[in-house]
Amino acid sequence: MRVFLAMMIAMLCLVAMPAPWAQADILIDHFDTGFFDLLVNDGTPPTAHAEQSGLANVLGGDRDVTVTFLAGDNDVRGRVSITPASVLRFDESDGAQGSILLRYGHAADLNADLSAGGTATDIRLDYLVADLNSTMHLTVTSHHGELSQQTQTETLFTGSGPHTIKFLYSAFPLIDWTDVDQISLELVGNMNGDYRLDDVRVEAPEPLTMAGLVMGIGGLGYYIRKRRAA
């Protein structure tokens, strides 16, 4: 009975702790500052561009945005506005297809450590709305030594409806995630598509939380073995 009570107390302590999968975010873009509205109508001209600096909740503080008209007629539009907050919107009118390119570290190298001490495994972002499929390209540039740079691109074909996509670090074997210089994300929509994106971020388990869980489980096991040996 005493062993059972001890187990119940230990389990309650573990439940009361922060969840082991609680995440420590490294924000790349929260889309709550640097409002813009870029419209390209019938591809004349084919692109619209904005350079923004001094932004909070944006890695490096700078965001470079290009909206491109790719095919069809009518217009494509990319924007971050006050309402709704923290959302990137990309809309393709009937009969139009386009893309939106976001670049970070374009004006000056980020020199960002996205490794989270070796625990980070991916860059991810949330599609809040996606009425059609799309294609997302992630390009990362990092330093290797003082002079050489390495650049790699990974492409994901995304589904429709709300979902999260993850670019795994393992798909970028040439990249040094402790010294990332530039990041580019390009969403290529399907014709007539409308998309809403939320945080671009790196997530990693909080080391202290994981350590606490391991210690709790280890202590419980030690107690049970001690009681059995008595």
DSSP codes of every residue in 195-228: EEEEEEEE--B-HHHHHHHHHHHHHHHHHHHHHH
Instruction: Report, as an integer, the average pLDDT of 133-139.
Output: 97
Kindly give the pairing relationship between strand 88-92 and strand 75-80. antiparallel
How confident is the prediction for the chain on average, in pLDDT? 84
pLDDT (tens digit, 9 = 90+) per residue, 17-32? 444 444 568 999 999 9
How confident is residue 230, by pLDDT bands cut at 50, 70 and 90? low
pTM across the whole model: 0.80
Rg of the chain over CA atoms, in angstroms?
Answer: 23
With tokens 């671009």, the residue in question is 200
Element spanning 4, H or E: helix 2-16
CA distances (Å), origin 75, targets 38, 64, 133, 134? 10, 21, 19, 17
Kindly give the pairing relationship between strand 148-158 and strand 194-202. unpaired
How confident is residue 14, by pLDDT bands cut at 50, 70 and 90? very low
Instruction: Report, as an integer, the average pLDDT of 145-174.
Output: 91
| pLDDT confidence of residue 67 | 97
Closest CA to 92 of 10, 195, 172: 195
Instruction: Provide the token pair at 188.
Output: 């290529």
Whole-number Å distance between alpha carbons of 89 and 37: 9
pLDDT at 147 over 70: no
Instruction: Report, as an integer, the average pLDDT of 42-57.
Output: 92
With tokens 């994106």, the residue in question is 197
**Phi, psi at 27, each rounded to 5°:** -75, 135
**Phi, psi at 42, each rounded to 5°:** 55, 25
pLDDT at 192 over 70: yes
Instruction: Report, as an integer, the average pLDDT of 124-134.
Output: 96
pLDDT (tens digit, 9 = 90+) per residue, 63-118? 999 999 999 989 999 999 877 778 999 999 999 999 999 999 998 999 999 999 99
Instruction: Provide the token pair at 48.
Output: 């619209």
| pLDDT confidence of residue 43 | 75
Whole-number Å distance between alpha carbons of 58 and 159: 26
